[in-house]
């Protein structure tokens, strides 16, 4: 099957800092990928380059048939980035719900404002996704009155309501109290079961082991090692992978 | 003044310690408020007394207070009072213009488009670099020399609005900047364009934040409208007070009347401002 995401020769600098080095990989439809690695290894930057929240310096990103080069100017180029963003949905570590809108308002904002969807139709769609994340009863609540776990579930519904082809999760549970992590992982598990293509930067090794088709281990701006969870977790080939996995098991993460 | 504690018999009426602590705290607060009110009344009474015209001796001291011409006050207070509406109208129209200019200025200050940034900074520098009084006189006296004759009210609104707009630009900029970068990223991620992000996400949040400081500016502007009196074309409070004061050699009385009206207006709008701030602080809601 042809890839739904292609990253070719991706390089990114923050000033003199070379944070992504010659990244190449492909993602097949319905594939679930977890990106792990030490902090500062470039995991989040990689994810953010895929929907151009960070402008890559070199390389090509392709999502759902939309190919965008790292360099470009003008209206046509900006339109391509816009198209690419419509193919992706993103969930952030800090939720970033719009505080001036209700839960339902957050979910229908994209369909109404971006896609120009009819309000009644959008409300129906919005309720569908709020139900999917188990928060239909919170439709009229403002984010400030929701728990972190509930906010993140609304954020997932907001991204899903744009019906993207690929979902990007940037440490979706890192800002949550431990007892709230489960409800968010539960929603993500449901997306996996629905066949969503997902790229997730995470420290939840349990989730990665159980649901990922492939793990990418990053260190120092490179993908050091990639493979199915059984191979990467139980039989890592690279020394850096072994060091990292050793360190997190010593710290007793949620295994 | 030491605060006598509530006696223990009274405290014993409360069952839990928490209720007792709360009662003590409330008691302290109420006493503070009470003394503030009492002091205000004393100061106010002193002010009234100072202008009462009373003249008497206590032992070796002769007490003389300022005596006002009550007949003048009774005759002319209404004429001066008629300026209240124009003063408020001037301030309302000017703050409206200033808000629009401040928003444009704030967006310009944050723009990555050089001419927009330059225009905003140029405007701010020019207005802040010259006195407000000069700007007001300019609109009334210098423009007509170029053949531009604006009606008095509009010249005043233009001068005040332009001036306050420049100062309020920084308020708007701060409000816009205080909306976190995560909000913009979340909006970009669902495919929103820059103008959509501004309109739907950033400005609603920024405006909520800038309403209290803009309220302060409005209250300051209420009094700066008096500067327009120097032009002689706008019959607002101070102009009316000066006119009848000079004509009757009763400037003291006339100015006091105007001062009282300014004070009352300010107290009223400050109270409204306080309520607005409380309302805005209540939670996340759109305006």
The answer to whether residue B287 is domain-embedded is: no
**Where is average pLDDT lowest: A37-46, B3-12, B156-165?**
B3-12
Give the mean model confidence (pLDDT) for residues A95-117: 96
Q: How far apart are CA B30 and CA B27, in angstroms?
A: 5
Q: Note whether B189 contacts A: Cβ–Cβ < 8 A.
A: yes
The answer to whether residue B163 is domain-embedded is: yes
The answer to whether residue B59 is domain-embedded is: no
If 0-12 CB within 10 Å is exposed, 13-18 middle and 19+ buried, where does residue A64 land? Answer: middle
Same-domain check for residues B93 and B208: yes
Same-domain check for residues B164 and B225: yes
CB contact under 8 A, B285 and A158: no
Give the mean model confidence (pLDDT) for residues A151-168: 97
Q: What is the 3-state secondary structure (H, E, C) of chain B?
A: CCCCCCCHHHHCCCCCHHHHHHHHHHHHHHHHHHHHHHHHHHHHHHHHHHCCCCEEEECCEEEECCCCCHHHHHHHHHHHHCHHHHHHHHHHHHHHHHHHHHHHHHHHHCCCCHHHHHHHHHHHHHHHCCCHHHHHHHHHHHHHHCCCCCCHHHHHHHHHHHHHHHHHHHHHHHHHHCCCHHHHHHHHHCCCCHHHHHHHHHHHHHHHHHHHHHHHHHHHHHHHHHHHHHHCCCCCHHHHHHHHHHHCCCHHHHHHHHHHHHHHHHHHHHHHHHHHHHHHHCCCCCC
Same-domain check for residues B143 and B218: yes
Q: Note the pLDDT tens digit of each residue in B11-25.
A: 777 888 888 888 889
- pLDDT above 80 for B52: yes
Same-domain check for residues B17 and B92: no
The answer to whether residue B210 is domain-embedded is: yes
Q: Note the pLDDT tens digit of each residue in B147-200.
A: 888 888 899 999 999 999 999 999 999 999 999 999 999 999 999 999 999 999
Among the partner residues B188, B201, B283, nearest to A98 by beta-carbon distance: B201
Q: Note whether A75 contacts B: Cβ–Cβ < 8 A.
A: no
Confidence tier at A141 by pLDDT (50, 70, 90): very high
Q: Note whether B284 contacts A: Cβ–Cβ < 8 A.
A: yes
- pLDDT above 70 for A185: yes
pLDDT of residue B5: 61
DSSP A97: -
CB contact under 8 A, B185 and A158: no
In angstroms, the separation between the Cα of residue B192 and the nearest Cα of chain A is: 6
The answer to whether residue B4 is domain-embedded is: no
- pLDDT above 90 for A139: yes
Q: Note whether B27 contacts A: Cβ–Cβ < 8 A.
A: no
| Residue found by looking up tokens 């003590």 in the block | B24
Same-domain check for residues B19 and B138: no
More reliable by pLDDT, A29 or B18? A29
Best mutation target, A51, A100, A112, to test chain B (most B CBs within 10 A): A100
B266: domain range?
Answer: 70-281
Nearest residue in chain A measured CA to CA from B282: A144
CB contact under 8 A, B192 and A94: no
Same-domain check for residues B14 and B119: no
The answer to whether residue B62 is domain-embedded is: no
Confidence tier at B3 by pLDDT (50, 70, 90): low
Q: Note whether A156 contacts B: Cβ–Cβ < 8 A.
A: no
Which residues in chain A have Cβ-Cβ distances shorter than 8 Å to B201? Answer: 98, 100
Nearest residue in chain A measured CA to CA from B199: A113
The answer to whether residue B197 is domain-embedded is: yes
Same-domain check for residues B138 and B271: yes
Among the partner residues B189, B201, B285, nearest to A85 by beta-carbon distance: B189
Coil, helix or strand at residue A222: strand
Please count the CA atoms within 13 angstroms of the CA of A209 that sit on its side-chain side.
Answer: 13
Among the partner residues A94, A142, A162, nearest to B182 by beta-carbon distance: A94
As given in the structure block, the two tokens for residue B183 are 């909000």
pLDDT of residue B286: 45
Which residues in chain B have Cβ-Cβ distances shorter than 8 Å to A96? Answer: 180, 182-183, 185-186
Same-domain check for residues B217 and B151: yes
The answer to whether residue B286 is domain-embedded is: no
Same-domain check for residues B275 and B170: yes
| Residue found by looking up tokens 């977890």 in the block | A34
ipTM (interface predicted TM) = 0.93
Q: How far apart are CA B154 and CA B233, in angstroms?
A: 11
Same-domain check for residues B37 and B126: no
CB B222 within 8 Å of CB B269: yes
Same-domain check for residues B137 and B79: yes
Best mutation target, A75, A87, A88, A99, to test chain B (most B CBs within 10 A): A99
Per-window interface: A 184-243 vs B, CB < 8 A: none
Coil, helix or strand at residue A203: coil
Length of chain A, in residues: 255
- pTM of the complete model: 0.80
Q: Note whether B178 contacts A: Cβ–Cβ < 8 A.
A: no
- pLDDT above 50 for A78: yes
Chain A with chain B: Cβ pairs closer than 8 A:
71
Return the closest-CA partner of residue A33 out of A238, A218, A246. A218
| Residue found by looking up tokens 């409360």 in the block | B14
CB contact under 8 A, B190 and A159: yes
Coil, helix or strand at residue A103: helix
The two beta strands, B55-58 and A166-170, are unpaired
CB A22 within 8 Å of CB A9: yes
Please count the CA atoms within 13 angstroms of the CA of A12 that sit on its side-chain side.
Answer: 29
- Domain count for chain B: 2
pLDDT of residue A251: 59
In angstroms, the separation between the Cα of residue A164 and the nearest Cα of chain B is: 9
Same-domain check for residues B235 and B103: yes
Q: How far apart are CA B99 and CA B106, in angstroms?
A: 10
| Percentage of chain A lying above the pLDDT 70 cut | 97
Close Cβ partners of B108 (under 8 Å, ≥ 6 residues apart): B116, B117, B119, B120, B121, B123
As given in the structure block, the two tokens for residue B87 are 């003063």
CB contact under 8 A, A100 and B205: yes
Assign residue B253 the CATH number of its domain. 1.10.3720.10
Distances (CA, A) of B125 to A220, B112, B140: 47, 19, 22
- pLDDT above 70 for A253: no
Among the partner residues B185, B191, B204, nearest to A82 by beta-carbon distance: B191
Close Cβ partners of A126 (under 8 Å, ≥ 6 residues apart): A104, A107, A108, A111, A139, A157, A161
CB B162 within 8 Å of CB B136: no
CB contact under 8 A, B192 and A114: yes
């Amino acid at each position: 099957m042809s890839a739904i995401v292609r990253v070719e020769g991706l390089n990114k600098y923050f000033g003199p800092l070379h944070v992504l080095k010659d990244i190449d990989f492909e993602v097949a439809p319905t594939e679930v990928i977890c990106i792990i690695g030490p902090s500062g290894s470039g995991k989040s930057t990689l994810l953010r380059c895929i929907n151009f929240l960070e402008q890559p310096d070199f390389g090509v990103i392709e999502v759902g048939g939309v190919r965008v080069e790292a360099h470009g100017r003008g209206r046509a180029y900006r339109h391509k980035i816009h198209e690419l963003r419509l193919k992706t949905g993103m969930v952030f570590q800090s939720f970033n719900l719009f505080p001036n809108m209700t839960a339902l308002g957050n979910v229908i904002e994209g369909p109404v404002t971006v896609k120009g969807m009819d309000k009644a139709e959008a409300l129906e769609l919005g309720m569908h996704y709020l139900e999917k994340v188990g928060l239909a009863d919170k439709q009229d609540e403002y984010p400030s009155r929701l728990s972190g776990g509930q906010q993140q579930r609304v954020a997932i519904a907001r991204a899903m309501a744009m019906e993207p082809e690929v979902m990007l999760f940037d440490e979706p549970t890192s800002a949550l109290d431990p007892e709230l992590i489960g409800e968010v992982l539960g929603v993500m598990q449901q997306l996996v079961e629905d066949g969503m293509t997902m790229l997730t930067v995470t420290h939840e090794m349990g989730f990665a082991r159980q649901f990922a088709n492939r793990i990418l281990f990053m260190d120092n701006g490179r993908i050091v090692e990639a493979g199915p969870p059984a191979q990467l977790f139980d039989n890592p080939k690279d020394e850096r992978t072994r060091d990292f996995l050793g360190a997190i098991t010593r710290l007793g993460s949620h295994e | 003044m030491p605060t006598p504690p509530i006696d223990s018999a009274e405290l014993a009426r409360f069952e839990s310690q928490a209720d007792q602590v709360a009662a003590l705290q409330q008691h302290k607060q109420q006493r503070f408020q009470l003394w503030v009110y009492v002091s205000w009344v004393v100061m106010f009474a002193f002010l009234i007394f100072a202008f009462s015209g009373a003249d008497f001796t206590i032992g070796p001291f002769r007490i003389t207070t300022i005596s006002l011409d009550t007949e003048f006050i009774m005759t002319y207070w209404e004429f001066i009072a008629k300026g209240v509406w124009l003063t408020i109208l001037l301030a309302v129209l000017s703050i409206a213009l200033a808000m629009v200019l401040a928003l444009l200025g704030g967006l310009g200050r944050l723009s990555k488009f050089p001419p927009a940034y330059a225009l905003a900074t140029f405007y701010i520098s020019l207005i802040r670099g010259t006195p407000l009084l000069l700007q007001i006189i300019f609109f009334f006296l210098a423009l007509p020399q170029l053949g531009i004759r604006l009606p008095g009210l509009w010249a005043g609104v233009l001068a005040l609005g332009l001036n306050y707009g420049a100062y309020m630009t920084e308020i708007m900029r701060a409000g816009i900047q205080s909306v976190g970068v995560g909000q913009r990223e979340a909006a970009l991620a669902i495919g929103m364009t820059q103008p959509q992000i501004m309109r739907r996400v950033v400005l609603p949040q920024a405006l909520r934040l800038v309403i209290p400081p803009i309220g302060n500016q409005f209250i300051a502007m209420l009094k700066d409208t008096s500067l327009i009196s120097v032009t002689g074309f706008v019959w607002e409070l101070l102009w009316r007070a000066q006119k009848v004061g000079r004509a009757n050699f009763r400037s003291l009385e006339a100015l006091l009347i105007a001062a009282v009206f300014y004070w009352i207006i300010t107290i009223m709008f400050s109270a409204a401002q306080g309520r607005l701030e409380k309302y805005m602080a209540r939670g996340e809601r759109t305006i």
